[in-house]
Amino acid sequence: MNSPKIAGSQLDLFNQGPATQDPFAALVPAARPVALPPPPPPPQPLFKAPPAPPRITLPSPPRSPDDPPLRRIVLGHYAVDYELKRSSRRSIGFMIDDDGLHVTAPRRAILTDIDNAIRAKQRWILTKLHERGERRAKRAERAPLVWEDGARLPYLGGEITLRLQPAARSHCVFDADTRELSIGVTPGLSEWQLKERVKLWFQAEAKRLFVERLDFYAPRLDVRYSSLTLSSAGTRWGSCTIGGSIRLNWRLVHYALPLLDYVVVHELAHLKEMNHSPRFWAVVGSVYADYDGARLELRRRSHEMPVLFTD
């Protein structure tokens, strides 16, 4: 029986090399690299710490070449620079404003006693410096007020619109219906003069409101005050003497009336209790129940309030 003939091309399929070679090797596809799974992510902490808050720079009093150098004291983790002034007073006093800590001491007080007095008030000083630093940081983020027609000014917790009108004689008129403060701008009026005119209006409004609110709350607390003076203090909203003289910061006119009322009641209550004891707060609470809320809101709003005037 004759075997069938096989074409040469078919023989090549089985005869690709030496006898030791796997005859089916040509049928196996080319090997591809194996794709390995990605490595597992590193283990995450069970509780992720919140991002650190931005560090507040504590304010420091500015110096000119002719000023004496600042003194420095370490309070906790902070190095605090302060201005030291000598006077005829008998005790060491502290004042904190947007420029930092100012200390006034008797002429004979030694530096060790002054530093010890500062350390005794360390908590209060650092708290107030932090508040001032936060206020300065927030103000730096806002664009400064442009004193032009249509500018918005803070008044009693809201805003009023500044209207500038060319005039032969200067005038200042407030329209409560439109909430517009109109200023007559005479030829050559400078921005400084314009700001002073607006500030005088705010101060007059503050005094009118203070008298109105003092006369409203004094009978309810069964007290009498002897005089009212406007204050421009940088760190205090008000003060009261044993004789009944009350000083109130005119910038309170920028804030909502309930916050202004809180400060008025606070100072009138001192005519019964010249301290901040539980008895004092009971007097405040007898006519102003949410004094804690008012204190917190006044502090919060003071950090956000734009600076219109530098003095």
SS3 category, 256: coil
Dist CA 163 CA 184 (whole Å): 9
Dist CA 74 CA 46 (whole Å): 37
Q: pLDDT per residue over 85-97, tens digit each? A: 998 888 999 988 8
Phi/psi for 245 (5° steps) reads: -85, 125
Q: pLDDT per residue over 180-217, tens digit each? A: 999 999 998 899 999 999 999 999 999 999 999 999 99
pLDDT grade, residue 113 (50/70/90)?
Answer: very high
Q: CB under 8 Å to 306, separation ≥6 — which residues?
A: 139, 142, 144, 145, 154
Listed range (159-163, 230-234, 265-269) with the worst mean pLDDT: 230-234
Across the range 220-228, mean pLDDT stands at 96
Listed range (58-67, 91-100, 276-285, 289-298) with the worst mean pLDDT: 58-67
Domains of the chain, first to last: 71-141 (no CATH), 152-304 (3.30.2010.10)
Q: pLDDT per residue over 124-163, tens digit each? A: 999 999 888 877 777 666 777 889 999 999 999 999 999 9
Phi/psi for 87 (5° steps) reads: -150, 180
Strands 100-106 and 78-87, bridge-based pairing: parallel
Across the range 108-120, mean pLDDT stands at 94
For 254, counting Cβ atoms within 10 Å of its Cβ (0-12 exposed, 13-18 middle, 19+ buried), the class is: buried
Listed range (38-52, 111-125, 163-177, 179-193) with the worst mean pLDDT: 38-52
Dist CA 257 CA 209 (whole Å): 9
* 65, pLDDT greater than 80: no
Spatial CA neighbour of 180 closest among 191, 164, 166: 164
Spatial CA neighbour of 91 closest among 55, 51, 120: 120
Q: What is the 3-state secondary structure (H, E, C) of 207-234?
A: HHHHHHHHHHHHHHHCCCCCEEEEECCC
